Amino acid sequence: MSRRWVFENHAWLSIGSVALTLIITLSLKCENSWEAVGAVLFGALGFSYFCQQQKLAEIQLFKQLFTEFNARYDRLNNQLSDILKLSPEQELKPCQVKALIDYFNLCAEEFLFREEGYIPDHVWGPWCRGMLDNIQHNLVNALWNQESQKDSYYGLSLEKIQTGAKLKRGS
């Protein structure tokens, strides 16, 4: 059972726990049964409040990450466009290599937050399709293959990018 599933279904979980407590306490005809029901009810309300606050915090974190990642990509965009215009016979300049490594690091950080559950499918899919378009360029691909051997990108691999690129909204 994932954290996200619990947060999305917190209301049903709370209602179910209160209903189950009601059924058990009434069927057992316990003394203080209403105290038990009240305690579970307040616990369920507290749990729901916590889930709503957690979801709000995650939305705020996502917005912050989304804004930061897009700003960093925007700063690299012109350099990436220039690199993608190069023919396969040309060599990358040191500043272009640095820009690509910065781009790979950005992709890896996006992947890291994706793995932690903070980047949803409907965002991760398009990001991966963009990564895949860039990595398919011969010069970018050669540097990616070289850099990815260092295992310094939090486990991001071409296979994981390809898998992410297949994601569609709502899948």
pLDDT in tens, 76-86: 999 999 999 99
Among 45, 40, 43, 6, which residue's Cα sits nearest to residue 23? Answer: 40
**Do 139 and 83 form a contact (C-beta atoms < 8 A)?**
yes
Amino acid making up residue 152 = S
- Helical axes 138-148 vs 121-135, angle rounded to 10°: 110
**Do 113 and 119 form a contact (C-beta atoms < 8 A)?**
yes
Rounded to an integer, the average pLDDT of 53-61 is: 93
pLDDT of residue 3: 76
pLDDT of residue 17: 86
**128-147 pLDDT tens trace:** 999 999 999 999 999 999 99
pLDDT for residue 30 is more than 80? no
| pTM for the model | 0.81
Would you kindly state where each structural domain of the chain is located, as residue ranges? 3-165
- The backbone region for 30, taken as left when phi is positive above 0, alpha when psi lies in -120 to 50, beta otherwise, is beta
Q: Is the Cα dihedral 4, 152, 108, 130 positive or negative?
A: negative
